[in-house]
Amino acid sequence: MLRFSQNAKSMRSSEIRELLSIAVRPDMISFAGGMPNNDLFPVQELDDIYSRLSKAEKQVGFQYGPTPGHPPLLKSLAQFLQGKGLPVEENRLMITTGSLQAINLLTKVFIDPGEKVITEDPCFIGAITAFKSYQAHFCPVDLDEDGIILHKLEKTLARHADARLLYLTLNFHNPAGLIYSMERRQAILELLHHRSLVLIEDDAYNDLYFSEADREKTTPLKAMGKEPVPICYVGSFSKIFGPGMRLGWILAPDAIVKQCELAKQSMDACTSTFTQMLAHEFLSQKKLAEYLPYIRMAYQRRCRIMLEALQQHMPASVIWNRPIGGFYVWLKLPQGVDATEVLQKSLAEGAVFVVGKTFDPHGHRNDHIRLAFCHTPEDKIAEGIRIVSQAVGSFV
Ligand SMILES: Cc1ncc(COP(=O)(O)O)c(C=O)c1O
């Protein structure tokens, strides 16, 4: 009889991971995965980058690299982040194997079993599973359309003064699709001032605003200059380059990143030098700057098609957000309708999405569904929404 650790026992498979195996069936219209469509990847640009590397550079790419990251990428990424007003000089930057590893490392270095993490409710499932795997105790706080609800956060902070981490996703939230208002951002900084709580600011969707006019709304808390609030800013190339690159980063005070480096040494020693090298060239040759407007437009189009179809087909008692960036529409079902029952109906007719309880840290609340518009071919979105709407309609 195998005897697994307490840690292993606290792990559960993400429902999304399991749904993805259904979602790839050719007859299924999928709104499940929060990832770019394969058609959108900059394959040609990467071909060009690779073929222009010298033999010696390619050899470096196949070698182990330093734990904090491939030095040229650390430089070009630092410049990219400085362009967002982030205090790169005053902090330390480290490359991670996806930003999920960044969240894992931070949890590992801050959380002992039973210690408290304050999260949003709903919350990114990857972060929930990471916190669970370190046996964190969850203190979830509800969201409204401007972000985490302040008076509830205040109450939670008072009740759980010993909480170690606060985890927030301010830009194009997964799954709620919202963006925090400027007022809410300011108020959070005020609230955190002079507390010992460490903030993980997960900004995986920062660059995915649809309109240039909204760019300023995405200003990270870390760039808003209220140190000494210890902010660990976490980002990713997954949504703006390709999740298969497995590249993310942490920008945080020196002492925190040093500790994460130690933790990473025993995890994977270093992130793939090969993909870091490609990412460096993609950044430094300004190819990312050319590629971003292209994907922003692609996602804006997909989002518009989805919103139009929802308007046309979804029962009037369902409420949803109108995203100005990111990947997600988050629908509140009419009272008494269970998202899993809707999913079963929808699956039988050929459309898949993720149910709300996946994103509830306690795994109960199931009155929402998440529709991702990023991965679905444009000509399939309206038909998929018709199916999902019909499935909802059968319970109303
Ligand atoms: C909010 C958020 N953070 C982090 C990630 C993880 O991304 P990565 O591929 O960089 O590990 C995701 C992926 O869906 C996400 O939605």
Among residues 279, 192, 287, the alpha carbon closest in space to that of 237 is found at 279
Residue 257 CB–ligand 1 contact under 6 Å: no
Q: What's the pLDDT at 248?
A: 98
Range 205-214 average pLDDT: 98
Ligand 1 centre from 103 Cα, in Å? 9
Give the up-direction half-sphere exposure of residue 213: CA atoms within 13 A in the CB hemisphere. 2
Strands 116-121 and 137-144: parallel
Which tens digits make up the pLDDT trace of 77-113? Answer: 999 999 999 999 999 999 999 999 999 999 999 999 9
Among residues 380, 335, 374, the alpha carbon closest in space to that of 354 is found at 374
Q: Is the pLDDT of residue 395 over 70?
A: yes
Which of 202, 205, 240, when mutated, tests ligand 1's pocket best, judged by the most ligand atoms within 8 Å of its CB? 202
User: In whole angstroms, what is the distance from residue 365 CA to residue 337 CA?
Assistant: 11
Which tens digits make up the pLDDT trace of 314-331? Answer: 999 999 999 999 999 999
Report the share of the chain in percent with pLDDT over 90: 90
Which tens digits make up the pLDDT trace of 99-153? Answer: 999 999 999 999 999 999 999 999 999 999 999 999 999 999 999 999 999 999 9
Among residues 103, 100, 127, the alpha carbon closest in space to that of 247 is found at 100
Please, what's the b/e burial string for 62-101 (b: 16 or more CB within 10 A of its CB; e: otherwise)? eeebebbbbebbbebbbebbeebebbbeebbbbbbbbbbb
Q: Which 3 state secondary structure label does DSSP give 33? A: coil
Among residues 271, 21, 12, 301, the alpha carbon closest in space to that of 131 is found at 12
Residue 238 CB–ligand 1 contact under 6 Å: yes
CB 125 within 8 Å of CB 16? yes
What confidence category does residue 17 fall into, taking pLDDT thresholds of 50, 70 and 90? low
Q: Is the pLDDT of residue 9 over 80?
A: no
Ligand 1 centre from 99 Cα, in Å? 6
Which of 15, 20, 100, when mutated, tests ligand 1's pocket best, judged by the most ligand atoms within 8 Å of its CB? 100
Q: How many helices (H) and strands (E) does the chain have?
A: 14, 14
User: In whole angstroms, what is the distance from residue 34 CA to residue 28 CA?
Assistant: 16
Q: Which atom of ligand 1 is nearest to the CA of 248?
A: 10
Strands 248-252 and 319-320: unpaired
**How many residues in the chain?**
396
CB 253 within 8 Å of CB 92? yes
What confidence category does residue 340 fall into, taking pLDDT thresholds of 50, 70 and 90? very high
Range 154-170 average pLDDT: 97
Residue 235 CB–ligand 1 contact under 6 Å: no
Q: What's the pLDDT at 12?
A: 67
CB 288 within 8 Å of CB 296? no
Q: Is the pLDDT of residue 13 over 70?
A: no
Q: What's the pLDDT at 351?
A: 97
Q: What's the pLDDT at 227?
A: 62
Kindly report the pTM of this predicted structure. 0.96
Report the share of the chain in percent with pLDDT over 70: 96
CA angle 248, 174, 20 (to 5 degrees): 85
Q: What's the pLDDT at 2?
A: 87
